[in-house]
């Protein structure tokens, strides 16, 4: 799967935090998946190397979960970036449950960063 590039419209949108309101019943994921298939899971690249970890899910205005929020880069929590990855760009690995992303480290680090405040994710303004 080719990774989709974020458009300026995507970068200006705000999303609700799934983790801040896990009781928001009916948030829609791609067919056959649950939030637990994504939350707190490791993200790996094609080579099986860990490139990040999912910390939250973004819920859009139509109550669809469209992005995962992941901590990528850094070492032992220092220097990490919190980015949003389109859920279509992620595959759940059979067996391990790891999340496979077909993007290299530099592509992941180039994604827009987001910050959460009061249960709302918005683009990082720094």
pTM: 0.82
Is residue 77 situated within a structural domain?
Answer: yes
Is 123 a member of any domain? no
Q: Which pLDDT tens digit goes with each residue over 79-124?
A: 789 999 999 999 988 888 889 999 988 899 899 999 999 999 999 8
User: For residue 93, what is the domain's CATH number?
Assistant: 2.30.30.240
- Full domain range(s) for residue 90: 8-115
Q: Is residue 41 part of a domain?
A: yes
Euclidean distance between CA atoms 36 and 18, whole angstroms = 11
The number of distinct structural domains making up the chain is 1
């Amino acid at each position: 799967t080719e990774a989709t590039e974020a458009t300026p419209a995507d970068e200006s949108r705000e999303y609700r935090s799934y983790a801040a309101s896990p009781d928001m019943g009916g948030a829609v994921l791609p067919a056959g998946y649950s939030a637990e298939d994504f939350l707190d899971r490791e993200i790996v690249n094609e080579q099986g190397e860990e490139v990040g970890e999912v910390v939250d899910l973004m819920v859009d205005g139509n109550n669809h979960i469209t992005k995962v929020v992941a901590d990528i880069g850094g070492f032992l929590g220092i220097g990490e970036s919190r980015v949003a990855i389109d859920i279509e760009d992620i595959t759940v690995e059979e067996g391990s449950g790891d999340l496979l992303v077909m993007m290299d480290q530099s592509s992941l680090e180039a994604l827009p960063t987001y910050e959460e405040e009061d249960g709302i994710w918005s683009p990082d303004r720094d």
